Amino acid sequence: MSRRRSAVRAGDTRAAWLFISPWVVGFLIFTLYPLIYTGYLSLTDYDVINDPSFVGLDNFRALVSDDKVMLALRNTAVFALMSVPVKIVLSFFLALLLNKAGRATGFFRTAFFLPKMTPPVAIGILLLLMFNGQSGLVNEVLGWFGINGPAWTTDPTWVKPGLVLMSLWTVGASVIILLAALRNVPQELYDAARVDGAGWWAQTRHITVPMTSGAIFFLVIVDTIAALQSFTEAYTAYFGAGNSTYGNDAALFYAIYLFQQAFQFLHMGYASAMALLLFVIIMAITAVQVRLSKRFVFYAGEQS
């Protein structure tokens, strides 16, 4: 009997492996192998064309003394710290609104999601048009209220805030996720709260936020990682073909500097070391976030 059960279990296991095998193969070829190879390249001097030559930890030593690495890290950190909270708060607010929209929700859901379909390169170009200090739409609107808008695209102080605001263009995806989470909050909880005399703010604070904290936490993790890897929009606007000679230090994100080292200067070894450093930083930040989440995130499943 037990032998048969274990045979069945072995069969199940095999089937399970078979089902996940496409993912496993993909992971091995497209994630694990490049990761290991990056680790190897980071210990070499490699210019794409000549064979890599082993240089030990030289690349990592150079990383530490490279002022631009520090600048790029600082830029990226500041961008992430600004963009993630703004994005989460705005998407939560929009999701709350959509949740109240009744029948029109479907339409608005699509409308909010549509901008997400814009290719990132187009968003970079859009940034230059909308945030043009002289004739951009943003400053024109600010002008209606008597505000003299800044030079978003050239003044180093305003370059990152401009990029943060532009990143809100794709807030639609987060809104959809949060909306789904809101829909899952049991109505009884609100009914009970109302009976207890709780107002909108108390309900949001004590029911909505805790009950959607799982989704919020997911977005915090995903958005943080995306912000730390941010590349296309800033590259297109400040370093790409349209601006082949004008670049702005304030927009030099880590991934952009990595790209320059790898594909413009052909320092693949150095760029690999940079990639590994970013990997470690992202791992560390995510680990801290997961640890902190234990205190703030509520999982209904854990109670049962």
Which window, 42-50, 90-98, 111-119, 188-196, contacts other proteins (CB under 8 A)? 42-50
List binders of other proteins among 47-66 (CB under 8 A): 47-50
Nearest to 174 by CA among 213, 217, 219, 204: 219
> Nearest distance from residue 29's CB to other proteins, in Å?
18
Based on its alpha-carbon atoms, the radius of gyration of the chain, rounded to whole angstroms, reads 24
> Which one of 76, 83, 132, 272 is in contact with other proteins (CB under 8 A)?
132
Cβ closest to other proteins, residue 12 vs residue 249:
249
**x/- track of binding to other proteins for residues 156-185 (CB under 8 A):** x-----------------------------
Q: Using the rule CB under 8 A, give the single segment among 98-106, 128-136, 190-198, 213-221 that binds other proteins.
A: 128-136
Interface with other proteins (CB under 8 A), residue total 28
Among 128, 176, 227, 258, which residue interacts with other proteins (rule: CB under 8 A)? 128
Q: How far apart are CA 113 and CA 193, in angstroms?
A: 32
3-class secondary-structure state, position 26: helix
Distance (Å, whole) CA 219 – CA 197: 31
Nearer to other proteins, 12 or 47 (CB): 47
The minimum distance between CB 11 and other proteins, in angstroms, equals: 24
Q: Pick the stretch among 8-16, 152-160, 185-193, 272-280 that binds other proteins (CB under 8 A).
A: 152-160
Q: Which positions from 218 through 257 interact with other proteins, judged by CB under 8 A?
A: 245-250
Residue 54 has phi, psi (to 5 degrees) of -70, 130
Distance from the Cα of residue 78 to its chain's centroid: 14
133 lines the binding site for other proteins (CB under 8 A): yes
Q: Distance between CA 209 and CA 215 in Å, rounded? A: 10
DSSP codes joined into one string, 46-108: --SSSPPEE-TTHHHHHHHH-HHHHHHHHHHHHHHHHHHHHHHHHHHHHHHHHHT-GGGHHHH
CA 203-204-209 angle, to 5 degrees, is: 125
Q: Which is nearer to other proteins, 18 or 49 (CB)?
A: 49
Q: Which stretch binds other proteins (CB under 8 A): 27-35, 91-99, 131-139, 271-279?
A: 131-139
**Do the bridges between strand 44-45 and strand 53-54 make them parallel or antiparallel, or are there none, so unpaired?**
antiparallel
What is the nearest approach in angstroms of other proteins to the Cβ of residue 155? 5
Residue 118: how many CB atoms within 10 A of its CB? 13
Least separation in angstroms between residue 74's CB and other proteins is 14
Residues that bind other proteins (CB under 8 A): 45, 47-50, 128, 132-136, 148, 151, 153-156, 245-250, 260, 263-266
